[in-house]
Amino acid sequence: MSKYQVDPRDPLPRYYQVYLSLQSRIRAGEFGPGDALPAERLLTTEYGVSRITIIKAKDLLEHDNLIEHHQGRGSFVVDRADAACDSPQCRVLFFLPSLADSYTAEILIGAARVALRDNIRLEIAGLQELSDEPARVRDAIDGGADGLLLLPRARYPDKDLLRELHERAYPLVLLDRFYAGLDTDRVIFDDEEAGYALTKLLIEKGHRRISVFTGHEVEATSVRGRIRGYRRALREAGIAYDEDLICLDVYSELGPDSLYNQALTHLELLEWWRSGRFTATIAINRYVALQMSMDLMRIRSHLAQATPDESVATGADGLSIEIAAISNKPFAHEETSLVALALQPGDRLGERAMELVTRRMREGTELPTQQIVVPMQIVDVDAGRARPPANPTV
């Protein structure tokens, strides 16, 4: 019997046991850089498992950048000296506007996971003010940083600096959004597809008057992409586009630090939502969805105290608005207004960005400008079912 047989008493899935075993064998040097792993039929015999179990184990190894698969040839151990920067001086700075929200924290976790795996020194720098950005970036470069990750804001105070870095092929990767006039490396979500999918789902639920509520970063390329997807879904359904349903001013100052602290009064919001102009909305991000849900609950509570009839309880109050939101994580189950989600895997964005900046440090100008698109998962909250994302594209 092979010494690598899986243990039926182990509570871990069989594919994960195989993954751990192969990972250990690679790290121990049994399979060296550039070596081919044994054929799948041999591994099935060696471990006493099915071929699909071996495939799932190899998928995890490939995700860890330990092996790479070549169609028709097999799977080969990655040359770690070529795959990562192994020098202790290899240093990447990650510029973040804030760590006040879970989304940026998830991105950072993903980047840190790859940095630890590939022996890269990852440092975090904050950009509290827009005016800080050019000087802080130049200081980082002068200080010997080998690469930069930048989660930019909607407005760019110094596009000339970014253009200069790009022309120098300096390892710089933008995350989540990018500068439309500059062809830099970037890792972004499939924002247009998310906007399209959420709008289509609302249309399938019977809605014809669908609004879009934005926050304070209206000019961000991610927001523009989501609105493009929204318009495409309307066009395919034969629904006329009404630009007045793109609500730019209601939450124009809303950001992570101002959540639940809006200046609009109950009467102002009530007049807006009772206007009958729309029956469903797409909240462009998590903060808009949370603020809108909170405002709807406040208004309903206000009406319940001020209105003697049963209009609030029966839904005749004009506030039966369904919300589809783009968010990095699910909302509380008791949130009844939310009917659909496009989930952003922030850690995956961070992982791909760190992998890309490492690759840029290694290949320089030999590598064409890269755009990596990470899919979102569309969740129909009402139906309790998840739609699998499409494959990411490069």
Residue 260 burial (10 A CB sphere; 0-12, 13-18, 19+): exposed
- Of 97, 85, 78, the residue nearest 171 (C-alpha): 85
Residue range 84-189+346-374, CATH number: 3.40.50.2300
Which amino acid is located at 267 in the chain?
Answer: L
Relative to beta strand 91-96, strand 121-126 is: parallel
Domain positions in the chain: 14-82, 84-189+346-374, 192-343
**Which segment of 39-48, 254-263, 287-296, 298-307 scores lowest on mean pLDDT?**
254-263
Whether residue 185 is predicted with pLDDT greater than 90 in this model: the reply is yes
Rank 11-15, 196-200, 205-209, 288-292 by mean pLDDT and report only the highest: 196-200
pLDDT digits (tens, 9 = 90+) for 266-293: 455 656 565 667 889 999 988 888 888 7
Among 189, 178, 256, 261, smallest CA distance to 229 is for 189
What integer is the mean pLDDT of 353-379? 90
Fold of the CATH domain 14-82? Arc Repressor Mutant, subunit A (1.10.10)
Tell which residue, 104, 288, 326, 323, has the closest CA to residue 193.
326
**Over 90: is that where the pLDDT of 337 sits?**
no
SS (H, E, C) 195-223: HHHHHHHHHHCCCCCEEEECCCCCCCHHH
Taking every pair of Cα atoms in the chain, the longest distance, rounded to a whole number of angstroms, is: 79
Q: pLDDT at position 78, please? A: 82
Q: What pLDDT shows up at residue 254?
A: 67
Evaluate whether 84-189+346-374 and 192-343 have a shared fold: yes
pLDDT for residue 198 is more than 90: yes
Q: What is the pTM of this model?
A: 0.73
The answer, yes or no, to whether residue 374 has pLDDT greater than 90, is yes
CATH superfamily of 192-343: Response regulator (3.40.50.2300)
Closest CA to 326 of 313, 342, 311, 309: 342
Q: In what order do the strands lie in the sheet with 210-213?
A: 246-247, 210-213, 280-283, 322-327, 338-343, 377-380, 385-387
**From its phi and psi, is residue 315 left (phi > 0), alpha (psi between -120 and 50) or beta?**
left
DSSP 110: H
If you average pLDDT over residues 356-373, what whole number do you get?
Answer: 88
CA of residue 295 relative to chain centroid, distance: 26
